[in-house]
Amino acid sequence: MAEKAHSSSSIMYVVIAIAVLLVVVFVPLSMLGKGSAPAGNTDDADQRIQPVAKVAFQKAAPAAGGKARDGAAVYGSVCMACHASGVAGAPKAGDKAAWAPRIGKGSAALVKSVISGKGAMPPKGGGADLTDAEVKAAVEHLVGLSK
């Protein structure tokens, strides 16, 4: 029994010695590795140089077969540019506190604001080719995300 205890404690010493060695040898190595990584890893660099926010006025993608674009499609191509991140003070999609007072005005009033533009939001959110029905669908989609 005593013999067994002795041998297991010398295994402990070996394990500790290996652990110390790993720390001493590999931690500096991995720090070196990090220093030279960006040369091969441009994804990372691309991510870091992204602008904080992008504002883009885009044309909404044309609807297939002349059908009206649905709210999600219009939101994704036009409205998201500001409302996903809150550019220019736009109430952020999903921010219930920011949306509650606006939703309270009723959906017709919101649609009207978007069609004619409001504050930093251009008419139709910049999607000049949107029909009123498409604007309405996009407002409903955005409100749905934020309730």
List of residues contacting ligand HEC (CB under 6 A): 74, 78-79, 81-83, 87-91, 102, 109-110, 113-114, 118-121, 124-127, 135, 138-139, 142
The smaller minimum CB distance to ligand HEC, of residues 100 and 109, is found at 109
CB of 48 to ligand HEC, least distance (A): 25
Min dist. Cβ of residue 66 to ligand HEC (A): 19
Which of helix, strand or coil describes residue 81? Answer: helix
Alpha-carbon gap, residue 28 to 121, rounded angstroms? 52
DSSP 8-class letter at 52: S
Where residue 135 falls (left for φ over 0; alpha for ψ -120 to 50; beta otherwise) is alpha
Instruction: Name the phi and psi angles at 16, rounded to 5.
Output: -65, -45
Nearest distance from C-beta of residue 54 to ligand HEC, angstroms: 11
